[in-house]
């Protein structure tokens, strides 16, 4: 029964004893240095990182953007494989309008005068045959060029392949020019018109700045050093800033990103909100595993002969696709995040005494003495003398000397 009463009393004391802070002045340079240095670190973190770097006193919004492009330039080609031809923007920009991107034709494989007829398939392990028994009528291979007719025909004097119903003559895309057909495309220019908004702040901007007029656009060209805000870019300069060579890339094509960063500080004391341009290659260019490199697709131009027969010219187009990628975050002073982060800073400061107390009772030479005086248990039925022994007028400075 006695043990039960003792356990009950312990529980009551544990549950209902009231604790109140007591000021204990410790004349120790070591503990004082730890306390002030920890305070300094917390203040530097709040001021330097939270306020200056992260700008946690601001409300933020994400950019909404629209982009249109206009490419200009001319080229003339006259090679042994093609007829002399003049090229303008309607010939090499495919399609004429793109969604935040545009494609510039730089190389091609042309298969002219195709008609729908029957012809031997290109030689491959699945199309080479000895006789008609090796060909299945109606069979179509997704990697092939047509639907088999069931006949085995002479492809050349040394090979026989299954005949197919297709657009004949078949395309031979291995005859790609070693040098880009439209090498002059490096001198083409593109005008990028970009409008952005931050709806939360009702903030609107264009990359064509307010002071720009039509005469300026006719003569300006983007240069990171001399004209970093001109919205007209030479294609060669874009590829060069991405770390690539235009003539090498133009042979088999590729994908380049034009990145426009609209990250802005909209507070009145900050500078003007201006776009920042950067460029990089987006498709994978592995120096060793370079399987299926570049960027290409096929399209055809259709015609009618005098006798009404449909023909077409098949073009396997190689070129550079430019993707315009707009991103950014804007911030402006707001009282709500300021109060929230101020409260967080004060909570960090409240942890400083915990660090100093830990150092006091763990690392100091007189930690046993400090531990005894750090916590005082007051007994209500004690006499007045014993109560005075624990009164605030008794300072630890009278008991210990400097650590």
pLDDT digits (tens, 9 = 90+) for 6-59: 777 777 777 777 777 777 777 778 778 888 888 898 888 888 888 888 888 889
Mean pLDDT of 239-255: 94
Residue 378: the pLDDT is 62
CATH superfamily of 64-113+185-332: atp-gated p2x4 ion channel domain (2.60.490.10)
C-beta separation of 183 from 247 below 8 A: yes
Question: Does the annotation flag 68 for ligand binding?
Answer: no
List Cα–Cα distances, 327 to 79, 102, 260, 317, in angstroms.
Answer: 43, 18, 6, 30
Q: Alpha helix (H) ranges present in 17-155?
A: 29-44, 89-92
Residues near 352 by Cβ (< 8 Å), separated by ≥ 6? 35, 38, 39, 42
Check pLDDT > 80 for residue 139.
Answer: yes
pLDDT at 92 over 60: yes
Beta-strand pair 64-72/189-198: antiparallel
pLDDT, tens digit, 9 for 90 and up, residues 305-320: 988 899 999 999 999 9
Give, in order, the Cα–Cα distances in Å from 353 to each of 30, 90, 349.
Answer: 14, 74, 8
366 labelled as ligand-binding? no
Q: Is 22 annotated as a binding residue?
A: no
Phi, psi for residue 155 in degrees, rounded to 5: -85, -40
pTM score above 0.85: no
pLDDT at 287: 65
3-state secondary structure of 127: coil
Question: What number is the average pLDDT over the span 337-350?
Answer: 85
Please give the DSSP secondary-structure letter assigned to residue 360.
Answer: H
Residue 290 clears pLDDT 80, i.e. is over it: no
Q: What pLDDT shows up at residue 271? A: 75
Higher pLDDT, 9 or 118: 118
**Is omega for the bond preceding 169 within 30 degrees of 0, making it cis?**
yes
Task: Give me the pLDDT at residue 29, please.
Answer: 81
298 annotated ligand-binding residue: yes
- Domain ranges for the chain, please list them: 21-56+334-374, 64-113+185-332
Residues 49, 360: Cα–Cα separation, whole Å: 29
- Tell me whether residue 70 is annotated as binding: yes
pLDDT at 81 (0 to 100): 64
DSSP three-state, residue 168: strand
pLDDT band at 357 (very low <50, low <70, confident <90, very high): confident
pLDDT confidence of residue 392: 38
- Exposure string for 16-39, b = 16+ CB within 10 A, e = fewer: eeeeeeeebebebeebeebbeebb
Joined together, the tokens standing for residue 53 give 């770097």
- Tell me the mean pLDDT in the region 113-123: 94
């Amino acid at each position: 029964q006695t043990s039960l009463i003792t356990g009950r009393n312990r529980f009551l004391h544990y549950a209902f004893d009231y604790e109140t802070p007591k000021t204990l002045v410790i004349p120790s340079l070591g503990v004082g240095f730890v306390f002030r240095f920890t305070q300094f670190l917390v203040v530097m973190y709040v001021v330097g990182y939270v306020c200056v770097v992260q700008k946690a006193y601001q409300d933020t919004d994400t950019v909404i953007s629209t982009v249109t492009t206009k490419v200009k330039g001319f080229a003339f080609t006259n090679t042994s494989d093609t007829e002399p031809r003049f090229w303008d923007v309607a010939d090499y920009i495919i399609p004429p309008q793109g969604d935040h991107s545009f494609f510039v034709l730089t190389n091609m494989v042309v298969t002219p005068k195709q008609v729908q007829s029957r012809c031997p398939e290109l030689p491959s392990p699945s199309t080479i045959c000895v006789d008609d028994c090796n060909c299945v009528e109606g069979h179509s291979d997704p990697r092939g060029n047509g639907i088999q007719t069931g006949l085995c025909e002479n492809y050349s004097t040394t090979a026989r392949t299954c005949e197919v119903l297709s657009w004949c003559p078949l395309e031979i895309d291995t005859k790609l020019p070693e040098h880009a057909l439209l090498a002059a495309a490096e001198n083409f220019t593109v005008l990028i018109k970009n409008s952005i908004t931050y709806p939360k702040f009702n903030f609107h901007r264009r990359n064509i700045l307010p002071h720009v007029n039509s005469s300026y656009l006719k003569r300006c060209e983007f240069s990171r050093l001399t004209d970093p805000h001109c919205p007209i870019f030479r294609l060669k300069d874009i590829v060069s800033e991405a770390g690539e060579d235009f003539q090498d890339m133009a042979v088999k094509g590729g994908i380049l990103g034009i990145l426009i960063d609209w990250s802005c500080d909209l507070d009145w004391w900050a500078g003007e909100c201006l776009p920042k341009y950067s460029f990089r290659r987006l498709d994978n260019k592995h120096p060793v595993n370079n399987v299926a490199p570049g960027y290409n697709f096929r399209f055809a131009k259709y015609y009618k002969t005098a006798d009404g027969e449909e023909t077409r010219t098949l073009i396997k187009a190689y070129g550079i696709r430019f993707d315009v990628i707009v991103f950014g975050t804007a911030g402006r002073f707001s009282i709500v995040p300021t109060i929230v982060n101020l409260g967080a800073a004060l909570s960090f400061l409240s942890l400083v005494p915990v660090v100093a107390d830990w150092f006091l009772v763990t690392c100091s030479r007189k930690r046993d003495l400090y531990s005894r005086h750090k916590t005082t248990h007051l007994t209500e039925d004690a006499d007045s003398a014993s109560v005075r022994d624990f009164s605030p007028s008794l300072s630890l400075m009278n008991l210990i000397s400097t650590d």
